[in-house]
Amino acid sequence: MDTYELITRNAEEVVTDEEVRKLADDPADKRAYVGYEPSGVLHLGHLLTANKLIDLQEAGMETVVLLADVHAYLNGKGTFEEIRETAAQMKAQFIAYGLEEERTEFVYGSEFQLEEEYTLDLHELELSTTMNRAQRAMAELQSGETAKVSHLVYPLMQTLDIQYLDLDLAVGGLDQRKVHMLHREEIPDLGYEARPCLHTPIIADLTSGEGKMSSSEGVTISMEDSTEDLEEKVNSAFCPPTREPDGDLENPVLELFEYHVFPRFEEVVVERPEKYGGDLTYGDYETLAADLESGELHPADAKGTLASYLDELIAPGREKLRELRS
């Protein structure tokens, strides 16, 4: 796999391909980031973008993790003391998960977002951005939540963060696309250069295959889950014997293999008794998905294998959480 393929592996969208190819030609000392609001224990949504940071480190890039404490405060996630405690916990979990500590710069938003220059640039963006444009870039509100002025300021700050962290590439889930597009539209008017962006997919809801997996709604898998909890969640997951269910449904079990397991393991072994055909070994996602669709791989065997590999991935973070809480 060449550098460009590694950088863009499992990306849902690259903006723009030409800019990212230029980065791939000379990745040394280039900086990519993901921003995370410190709001709790890491879950599979966090880890999908963390997988991409691991890819970027392997490609030779430096990575930055923004622990966005000011953003979390604006979003009502607690006092700064509480938020920073959560941020420190998240940092430890990311390192346990596999980010190289020597090549990952962890930055608190409050380290630069309260400085005069940043604040004045933020006010400049507030002057030049219409209310409608800011609303389009806002994160989706939870059911029953009322929009506040802070919700409009939030995406404007994300737009600036990319500049102030001296980045070459912004990474986020596809739900961050609207913020990244705001950055590319508005930041040149402040005299700064717009950066390329890379977006990872959104995993479907585990139990239904609809919408997206969410820590606030439905079932998700986090580093708090015991082996037994994880097995229970995966075994109850929606997994029809097809790669593309009808309508808007997705197969979340296959998505988790594609975006979480195969990027981190060179091969996947499905253990089966000899009377059911014996073990199956897969070196790539496509072969596993084809076997599920053909009937060679039973959904129950796929789920059991997925639970085992996911457990191996999150176990170091689970242990780190226990250490921090003891």
Per the annotation, binding residues for L-tyrosine are 33, 154, 158, 161, 176
End-to-end CA separation in angstroms for the chain = 42
**Chain-centre distance of CA 135, in angstroms?**
23
Give 85's contacts (C-beta < 8 A, 6+ positions apart).
none
Q: Which two tokens stand for residue 110?
A: 């409050």
Antiparallel, parallel or unpaired: β 169-173 and 197-200:
parallel
Please report which residue ranges of 26-109 form alpha helices under DSSP H: 44-58, 69-74, 80-97
- Smallest CA-to-CA distance from 242 within 291, 207, 203 is with 291
d(Cα 198, Cα 121) in Å, to the nearest integer? 24
H or E segment to which residue 153 belongs: helix 149-164
Going by the annotation, the residues of the binding site for ATP are 215
Annotated binding site: 33, 154, 158, 161, 176, 215
Report which residue type is found at 20. V
